[in-house]
């Protein structure tokens, strides 16, 4: 094998885990976790089943890697963004919600909320993994932004944990709706309008409008 061929093979080999995870994500969203077989992932990725085991021990490991590759980096980016942001808490919250929809709601990742809700509960280890890696960290981001706004007098008093859940629920519902029923609607929802109206409602409910934030 020539040096050029060796370099190409090495490059191809290094790209293979990403190709496997892309194939797994597509199949998990389309067919569900239970129905997706390792054979399906290998075929979709264009590799042998044996090649899968060079990088991942089993389907659960592929699922975890898919989440860590696609969702966790977005949470880490948001954590850094919050630390560096210098504007108002209202503006920060609006940007974070818009980014969530752009990165998940408008991509193939929008099928993940449906997958998680419908299947991960049957797999306790994966449920705990997703809760620790994604749900808890995501909720902490929102409670951090809320606390910042409350401390500054921008936001009214709410229970931070309940508020974080309430803020995310419509976005998760929108993603689930988009990946299921919306394709059959004669007049699908306007996603941009849906997102903007949700953000307006959230900020309107939070805003103190100059009033004491303990009222």
Enumerate the domain spans of the chain.
Answer: 3-59, 71-206
In this model, does residue 4 exceed pLDDT 70? no
Confidence class for position 183, pLDDT limits 50, 70, 90: confident
Distance CA 39, CA 29 (A): 16
- CATH number of this structure's domain 3-59: 1.10.10.60
CA dihedral (126, 128, 130, 133) positive or negative? negative
Predicted confidence (pLDDT) per residue in 105-132, tens digit: 999 999 999 999 898 888 999 999 999 9
pLDDT of residue 212: 47
Place of tokens 């560096």: 84
pLDDT of 147 over the 60 cut: yes
- Give mean pLDDT, residues 167-196: 93
pTM of the entire predicted model: 0.86
Question: For residues 203 and 158, what is the distance between their CA atoms, to the nearest angstrom?
Answer: 13
Residue 173 contacts residue 110 (beta carbons within 8 Å):
no
Digit-coded pLDDT (tens) for 7-24: 344 445 667 899 999 999
CA distances for 113 relative to 61, 155, 171, angstroms:
19, 29, 10
Q: Considering the domain 71-206, what is its CATH architecture?
A: Orthogonal Bundle (1.10)
């Amino acid at each position: 094998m020539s040096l050029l061929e060796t370099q190409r093979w090495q490059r191809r080999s290094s790209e293979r885990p990403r190709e496997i995870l892309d194939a797994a994500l597509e199949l998990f969203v389309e067919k569900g976790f239970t129905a997706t077989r390792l054979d399906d992932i290998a075929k979709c990725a264009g590799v042998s089943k044996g090649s899968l085991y060079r990088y991942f021990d089993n389907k659960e490991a592929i699922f975890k890697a898919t989440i860590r590759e696609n969702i966790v980096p977005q949470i880490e980016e948001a954590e850094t963004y919050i630390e560096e942001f210098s504007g108002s808490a209202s503006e920060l919250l609006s940007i974070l919600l818009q980014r969530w929809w752009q990165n998940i709601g408008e991509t193939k990742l929008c099928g993940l909320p449906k997958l998680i809700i419908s299947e991960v509960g049957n797999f306790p280890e994966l449920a705990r993994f997703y809760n620790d890696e994604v749900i808890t960290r995501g909720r902490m981001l929102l409670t951090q932004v809320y606390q910042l706004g409350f401390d500054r007098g921008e936001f009214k008093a709410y229970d931070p944990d309940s508020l974080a859940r309430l803020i995310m629920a419509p976005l998760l519902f929108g993603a689930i709706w988009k990946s299921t029923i919306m394709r059959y609607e004669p007049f699908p929802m306007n996603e941009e309008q849906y997102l903007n109206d949700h953000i307006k409602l959230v900020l309107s409910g939070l805003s103190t409008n100059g009033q004491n934030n303990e009222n």
